[in-house]
Amino acid sequence: MISTQIPPCTGFPVTDSDVLAHARAIARDLERRGHPIRVPSENIELPAVDARFVQSAHRMPPRMLMRARLRANMEGREVTDVIVAALTAYAAGPVGDATTFER
pTM above 0.85, yes or no: no
Percent of the chain with pLDDT over 70: 84
Query: 4 pLDDT band (50/70/90 cuts)?
Result: low
Burial class (CB in 10 A: 0-12, 13-18, 19+), 27: buried
pLDDT of residue 11: 75
Query: 39 pLDDT band (50/70/90 cuts)?
Result: confident
Rounded to an integer, what distance in angstroms lies between the CA atom of residue 38 and that of residue 78? 30
Give the mean pLDDT of 44-71.
94
pLDDT of residue 5: 55
